[in-house]
Amino acid sequence: MKTNAGVSVWRLVRAARTRELDSTDTMQAESSPYVDAVRAVRVGELTADEAANQLITMMTDSEILGLLDGDSPRLVLPFIPILLDRVPFVAGAVSRLGIPGIRFSDGGRGVVIGASTAFPVTIARAATWDPSLEERVGVAIGLETRARGANYSASVCVNLLRHPAWGRAQECYGEDPVLTARMGSALTQGVRVNTMACVKHFALNSMENERFEVDVAVDEHSLHEVYLPHFKAVVDAGADSVMSSYNRVRGEYMDVNRALLTDVLRHEWGFSGFVTSDWVFGTHDAVVSLEAGMDVEMPLRLLRARALPAALHHGDLARSTMLQSARRILRTCVQHAATREPAVPTRAVIASPAHRALAHEVATESIVLLKNEAVGAAPLLPLAPATRHLAVIGRLAAQANLGDHGSSRVRPPSTVSPLQGLREALPGVRITTTNGRDERRAASLAAAAETAIVVVGLDQHDEGESVVTGGVDVGVLGREFRSGPLRRLLIGLAHLASRFVRGGDRSSLNLRPSDERLIHVVVTANPRTVVVLVSGSAILTETWRDRVPALLFAWYGGMEGGRALASVLTGSEEPGGRLPFVLPTDTAHLPFFDSTAKSVVYDNQWGQRRLDGQGHRPAYPFGFGLGYTNIEHRLIDHTLDDSGGNANVHVANNGNRKGSTVVQVYAADVSLRRPVAQLLGFRKVTLEPGAETTVRVDLDAGPTLQRDSTTRRWSARSGEWALQASQHSPDSWENAVSLRCTEGLIDQEGISDGKPV
């Protein structure tokens, strides 16, 4: 039921406290037309479409219009940050009919409401290269979301990492469309067991500071072959909802971008769920956005509540347009409620021992070991069992550093820092520590210890979602926000918030100068130095990498991150991660990035592909990561046509300890002077020492195809394509085999005349 505009904010806050805005399940316990509709769909008496139509016939126009935006009044606007981590935001509840509405919760690294399990951030999970693990994370996030009274989780972010300076890089799965597609689909499938899954931010949203304004120009090939395939994959995996992004694409804000929201998303891909706007500033026109295919204005009664009743009355909004969106929303909600896991979770699932154990497992699997040289007889890691004295040094050593403080922030009941993790794991070892501000002290502690561990990197001040973005036109909020006290209050609060939460795009890809100095100081004092990097994307290592024997990427590792790091450093677990992006030697090897740009061109020259095409060697290639054992890969055979295929790869653990590897299969047009590697598939495998096996890797043909913008048909890209199994993006194609001998052509059903070899 719509809360009328006069309702006090106090009532909402109180509602949050008492959980008056309760879950779908509470509502379903009673009998109501909605509950009956869900039951009828569950037992097969009605289709979800029929059930939605039936409900619509019982609704007044005002109730139907109420489905199309958030339920809380605009006065709640300044209180969004306070409410977001306390209560689901509701859109389209109609209590008269028992319709619970969309009950929203973020986010990507766990549930933002209350004290929930904080998983490693999304990019860390990308580094696991393990979709089945990601699906388990999805199940856990969906379960905790539902236990908090929400039925909709905006946790699936599949924007591509076009440049590592993007402030929200930590919320995505890195630079590769196939990796992003598989991981995002796995999360979606997991989340959907309990709640509806929302995939965001559609589309081409990978700059932060100007996210509300920036206009992305993109050619047809790059749009469909680089920036959209993973969105389609997640839609195919069953995403219930899509969130439109704030930015513009080809001159149109995404909420009014009919070309993408309707022509591509619905007509070309067949998406049948509903689209919501990104919050507050993401709806630009009440009627035009609805006509373009954006169904729900989130999260408050802002533009639509004001404009739609009159537009409907005067015929400026077609009744069929309103009904079409209402049908999409109700059909999706009913369908999901009828098919989700029937058991309703209690709050005991939140941050339960099982979920903490999962957070630990994921963090371990995400840690990427980039360098591990011998100092003396053996590689520095894992730490020698005889170690008696460690120095743990650095600004981030004793910190709970879980990621940015934007909308995906999770506040877990407890967190383990790297220092605490090491202390727990090594109770008999003397551990000395300093934050490194006093470099002389850092040097003397390092010199006195057998091994020094330096924990440095980024935090919420260096990168993250930007709370305040320059030049936001608060005019979109309505007349009273263009001037007057509300506007002043809003701007005042935004500026106040910006003092605490900086975030935004990164101004540099290097460590802070003080962190770089600290590394030099410590390694000079003790050559047995391990550097642990904490961040949400690439950090350039050129000015110090050669000096340190061991280097790991530990990301924002979640509430169990410190324990996971300790288990990797001590060797009780393997560093299971592989880079989900290339680590270049120079920013100049990446696309130009201007965080103040109001317009930008996206093309197909980004990440590892750009380095390949321009002939730059990376510091560490995409997909790279070491383990503690020695594993070899050999491609045996493969089949591939334009609809996909698979490869058999022989994998042998030639080392003397158990270990994992990620079998990666790449293709490239080797007729080019500089072949550009395209990841087609991957599979993580763990082997006992001396064991060998053959793994089957599913291949996605997408990166070898091109889309004809007139016919919308996909066909093989020309060239001499070759395929290779590898442990990271290849720097040589000498061992590659031919991928296909003729140019194939597929129709929309995926029938190919291309001949796999």
Q: Which residues in this chain contact ligand BGC in the complex, by CB under 6 A?
A: 84, 106, 154, 200, 278-279, 407
- Pick the closer one to ligand BGC by CB: 170 or 664: 170
CB of residue 84 to ligand BGC, shortest distance in Å: 6
**Which of 233, 196, 206, 204 is CA-nearest to residue 123?**
206
- Pick the closer one to ligand BGC by CB: 38 or 198: 198
Angle between helices 439-448 and 513-525 (to 10 degrees): 30
- Pick the closer one to ligand BGC by CB: 372 or 407: 407
* Residue at shortest CB range from ligand BGC: 407
CB of residue 209 to ligand BGC, shortest distance in Å: 13
Query: Whole-angstrom Cα distance, residue 193 to residue 135?
Result: 10
- Pick the closer one to ligand BGC by CB: 154 or 239: 154
Residue by residue, DSSP assigns 491-536 as HHHHHHHHHH---BS-S-SSPPHHHHHHHHHHHHH-S-EEEEEE-S
Region label for 310, one of left (φ > 0), alpha (ψ between -120 and 50) or beta (otherwise): alpha
- Pick the closer one to ligand BGC by CB: 215 or 278: 278
- Pick the closer one to ligand BGC by CB: 505 or 700: 505
CB of residue 138 to ligand BGC, shortest distance in Å: 16
Region label for 721, one of left (φ > 0), alpha (ψ between -120 and 50) or beta (otherwise): beta
- Pick the closer one to ligand BGC by CB: 240 or 573: 240
**Encoded tokens for 401:** 């550093």
CA-CA-CA-CA torsion for 96, 100, 102, 104, nearest 10 degrees?
Answer: 130
CB of residue 89 to ligand BGC, shortest distance in Å: 8
Q: How many residues does the chain have?
A: 757
CB of residue 418 to ligand BGC, shortest distance in Å: 28
Query: Whole-angstrom Cα distance, residue 396 to residue 399?
Result: 5
CB of residue 279 to ligand BGC, shortest distance in Å: 4
Query: Whole-angstrom Cα distance, residue 741 to residue 754?
Result: 8
Query: Whole-angstrom Cα distance, residue 245 to residue 279?
Result: 9
CB of residue 735 to ligand BGC, shortest distance in Å: 42
CB of residue 13 to ligand BGC, shortest distance in Å: 18
Q: Find the helix or strand (DSSP H, E) in which 359 lies.
A: helix 353-366
CB of residue 169 to ligand BGC, shortest distance in Å: 14
Query: Whole-angstrom Cα distance, residue 562 to residue 367?
Result: 11
- The set of residues, in sequence order, having a beta carbon less than 8 Å from that of 385 and lying 6+ positions away, is none
Q: Within its chain, how far is the Cα of 673 from the centroid?
A: 34
- Pick the closer one to ligand BGC by CB: 151 or 653: 151
Cβ atoms 227, 602 nearer than 8 A: yes
- Pick the closer one to ligand BGC by CB: 106 or 210: 106
CB of residue 205 to ligand BGC, shortest distance in Å: 8
Query: Whole-angstrom Cα distance, residue 159 to residue 563?
Result: 30
Q: Within its chain, how far is the Cα of 105 from the centroid?
A: 15
- Pick the closer one to ligand BGC by CB: 156 or 551: 156
